[in-house]
Chains A and B, each alone.
Chain A
Amino acid sequence: MPRFATVLFLAGFAFLLFSLTLTLGFGEPPMRAGQGVLDQAVAGTGAANAVSAVLLGFRGLDTLGELSILFAAATAGGLVLGHRRPGGDGPPAGAILQAGTRLLFPLMLVVGFYIVLHGHLTPGGGFQGGVILAAAFFLPVLAGTGAGPDHALLRVVEGLAGTVFILIGLAALWTGGVFLEPLLVDRGALHELFSAGTLPLLYLAVGLKVGAELAGLLAHMARAGGGEA
């Protein structure tokens, strides 16, 4: 009976939501805030990628919040899983896997940092790159060739990266601006790597933090999973 009710309500919900969305004007957004953002993105942040401008400039606080959420998730994950000792490793990896891992690791590192650092110019940025970085460090665990990233190091990285993000924001405050205001925007030309002021720095912090958080989470889970096996 509850299942029936659930299905019934769900059908109603989907139908109503769908009919509501039909009244929304698709394809003709009002762009009340969006147009302004597009117009001011370059002048305000120096970033060619408007999405990055929004993420780190206009809505930098969201990004900070998002980083904090990741940090919270990692901390909570650590709290949940941290009580147990690392379990035994799986069977040792074969030669091909080991070689592939070693080969891939620097590649992924490079790709990751590239994506992170070019986030203000091209599609991509700290999140995307950070995930790749995490994957790079997690690779040995997956392949069974190593213990994964060092926990203490990860904690330092994630802590400092987050702090740096905030400190850059506060630096604006201390230099007479407001919190999270992009600094040094005028330096450097559009479309160059060293442009958009502190934006790349922020992205670097984001990338490192995302990478560290995800790597930490995955490592935690891997260890837990290994223990159970």
Chain B
Amino acid sequence: MMAYAVALPLVAAFLLPVLHNASRWLGILVGPAALVAVLLVVFQSWQPAVLPFAMDLGGFAPPWGITFYVDALALLFCGAVALMTLLLWPRDEGDGDADALVRRRSLTLLLAAAAAGLALSGDLFNIYVFYELAAVASYGLAAERGTPAAYAAAFRYLMLSALGSVIALAGIAIIYFETGTLNLAHLSLLAGELQGPTGMAAFLCLLVGFGVKAELFPVNAWVPEVYGVTTRRTAGLLAGLVSKLAVLVLVRLLVLVFPQEGLRDALLLLGVLGLIGGELAAWKARDMTRMLAFSSIGQLGLVFVAFSLPGTAGLVAGIVVAVHHMVLKPGLFLLAGQWGGGLRGLAGAARRAPLAGLLFVLFALSLVGLPPLPGFWAKFLVLTGLAGQGGGLGWLAMVAILVATVLEVSYLFRLAGRLYSRGDDEVPAAATGGGTVTAGVFGALVVAAVVFAPALWDEVQDMGAGAGDAALYVRTVGPMVPTMISGGAP
């Protein structure tokens, strides 16, 4: 069933141009319909009794075929992919270019399919393929505005990302050299062979490669450029969704194949640097979009810090931080899309759009971690984990998180102050409508997270425990020495 999460958006993407020519309404509806269907599939599959389970695609038993591993975490991300894509569905920019709109929607669907694939896939090379699919789709979306700057930024992004992909592929080659398999479960069994420097180097290759999209410091210099030139919806999609799936992949690798302590430290260090660097740069940013872009880098740094923590606690913290950011950042980007422009021009904007102003404050508060908003729980979990771990790097990270929070407060509320200041009314009232409403949905999600916090907490704990259990993964995927090919029915 879960294959639909990948297949349906792909079919919709392939057919979208054709159907659009056939019938306008069909063209409009097919994308969202596919995403809604994916959501339904995810809901249907969410049965704690059967989770986790594995699917051998093509009916070939692991390690020969490609395996989809479906656990609560994967389902969560699948659902999030569908939901976020639905919410950030490309809108008609009003430039009358129907063809471009269809293409943008196609690319968005491809992105969704790739993201779902990344969440589900249990095969290293297959992950690479989906990663590339996401990358290519995002190159296209980066250039969607059709401005010269968008082309240039997309090109620079492409070169950076392609170099990362090359490095990642080299890492995959090294791993295949060492183990002769690509299945994550199989690799997990063979993790002992990857303990040496070669294995470490392979992981670092993958880290740098996939880190590009995960906005890992220091391979994230594309972020401010690209988010500055795309529509805010795309920026929200890239920052909120795609980055998290790249992180998810790295986490799966870390948990299953590379349990080395040193690699966690490396991740922690890079996360801390990203966190501080992003927040500092955001502090200095002069326009809202790039402020959010830098802040996104910082938040992703926090995600890395969280996931670098060992054990279930780290996974739980990471999931909470990641999901929190996934909900917030698109909302903020949507608001930025409503307002746009430099910080100076925003004086009094919230007075003219009170709902948007309130949402901004809500997001900002959650981002800096005002209890009982979910941002606080995220930060609390990360800090508790770090303090429990101790060590020089752990203390550094704790201090970094706290300092970054103060910086965050400083720039976010400097902006909030400007939004609410009694500015001269020269600035035209921003176009209201879709953006704010969608942002309102994200805001509602934040509030809902507060209301349903205890239930969510139980869910997340199970999720983290499940995702952190490498043995469970291997057991679920199955024995790696199948005697007979399954051939027909599984």
Binding site for B on A (CB under 8 A): 16-17, 20-21, 23-25, 29-34, 36-37, 40, 43-44, 57-62, 64-66, 68-69, 71-73, 75-80, 82-83, 152, 155-156, 158-160, 162-163, 166-167, 169-170, 172-173, 176-182, 185
Binding site for A on B (CB under 8 A): 3, 6-7, 10-11, 13-18, 21, 55-60, 63-66, 97, 99-100, 103-104, 106-107, 110, 113-114, 117, 121, 123, 125-126, 129-130, 132-133, 136-137, 139-141, 143-144, 146, 151, 154, 170, 174, 177-183, 186, 190, 196-198, 201, 480, 482, 485, 487-490
Say yes or no: A20 contacts B17, CB within 8 Å: no
B2 to chain A, nearest CB (A): 9
Give Cα A36 to B486, complex, Å.
12
Say yes or no: B7 contacts A166, CB within 8 Å: yes
Given contacts A20-B174, A23-B198, A57-B58, A71 and B3 within 8 Å (CB-CB): no
Most buried by B among A32, A71, A80: A32
Say yes or no: A32 contacts B137, CB within 8 Å: no
Q: Which of A17, A77, A170 contacts B7 (CB 8 A)?
A: A170
Chain B residues positioned under 8 Å from A72 (CB to CB): 106-107, 110, 133, 136-137, 140
A196 to chain B, nearest CB (A): 13
Task: Tell me the total A-B contact number using a CB cutoff of 8 A.
Answer: 205
Say yes or no: A178 contacts B114, CB within 8 Å: no
Given contacts A24-B174, A76-B103, A33 and B17 within 8 Å (CB-CB): no
Say yes or no: A32 contacts B180, CB within 8 Å: yes
Chain B residues positioned under 8 Å from A177 (CB to CB): 59, 488-490
Say yes or no: A76 contacts B60, CB within 8 Å: no
Given contacts A61-B66, A68-B110, A29 and B177 within 8 Å (CB-CB): yes
Give Cα A79 to B110, complex, Å.
14
Chain B residues positioned under 8 Å from A80 (CB to CB): 140, 143, 146, 151, 154
Chain A residues positioned under 8 Å from B201 (CB to CB): 16, 20
Chain B residues positioned under 8 Å from A68 (CB to CB): 10, 13, 110, 113-114, 133
Chain B residues positioned under 8 Å from A73 (CB to CB): 136, 140
B93 to chain A, nearest CB (A): 13
Say yes or no: A79 contacts B11, CB within 8 Å: no
Given contacts A65-B126, A68-B113, A71-B13, A33 and B181 within 8 Å (CB-CB): yes
Closest to A31 in B: B180
Say yes or no: B183 contacts A33, CB within 8 Å: yes
Most buried by B among A76, A77, A83: A76
Given contacts A32-B179, A69-B129, A176 and B489 within 8 Å (CB-CB): yes
Say yes or no: A76 contacts B59, CB within 8 Å: no
Give Cα A37 to B58, complex, Å.
13
Say yes or no: A60 contacts B18, CB within 8 Å: no
Chain A residues positioned under 8 Å from B14 (CB to CB): 71, 158-160, 162-163, 166
Say yes or no: B60 contacts A58, CB within 8 Å: yes
Given contacts A34-B180, A68-B110, A69-B129, A178 and B174 within 8 Å (CB-CB): no
Q: Told that A159-B17, A163-B11 touch, could you supply 17 new A-B pairs with CB distance under 8 A?
A: A16-B201, A36-B64, A44-B487, A69-B129, A69-B133, A69-B136, A72-B107, A76-B136, A82-B99, A83-B97, A155-B18, A156-B18, A166-B14, A167-B11, A178-B59, A179-B58, A181-B488
Chain A residues positioned under 8 Å from B197 (CB to CB): 20, 23
Chain A residues positioned under 8 Å from B123 (CB to CB): 59
Say yes or no: B103 contacts A78, CB within 8 Å: yes
Say yes or no: A155 contacts B100, CB within 8 Å: no
Chain A residues positioned under 8 Å from B60 (CB to CB): 40, 44, 57-58
Closest to A70 in B: B136
B113 to chain A, nearest CB (A): 7
Chain A residues positioned under 8 Å from B179 (CB to CB): 30, 32
Chain B residues positioned under 8 Å from A185 (CB to CB): 487
B30 to chain A, nearest CB (A): 11
Say yes or no: B21 contacts A155, CB within 8 Å: yes
Say yes or no: A75 contacts B57, CB within 8 Å: no
Chain B residues positioned under 8 Å from A160 (CB to CB): 14-15, 18
Say yes or no: B58 contacts A75, CB within 8 Å: no
Say yes or no: A75 contacts B103, CB within 8 Å: yes
Chain B residues positioned under 8 Å from A182 (CB to CB): 58-59
Most buried by A among B57, B132, B485: B57
Give Cα A20 to B144, complex, Å.
41
Give Cα A172 to B488, complex, Å.
10
Say yes or no: A179 contacts B7, CB within 8 Å: yes
Given contacts A76-B107, A76-B136, A20 and B126 within 8 Å (CB-CB): no
Closest to A160 in B: B18
Could you name 13 residue pairs across A and B whose Cβ atoms are closer than 8 Å?
A: A37-B64, A43-B487, A44-B485, A44-B487, A59-B125, A61-B126, A65-B126, A65-B130, A72-B106, A72-B140, A75-B13, A75-B110, A179-B58
Give Cα A170 to B6, complex, Å.
11
Give Cα A216 to B473, complex, Å.
43
Chain B residues positioned under 8 Å from A152 (CB to CB): 21
Say yes or no: A33 contacts B140, CB within 8 Å: no
Say yes or no: B487 contacts A71, CB within 8 Å: no
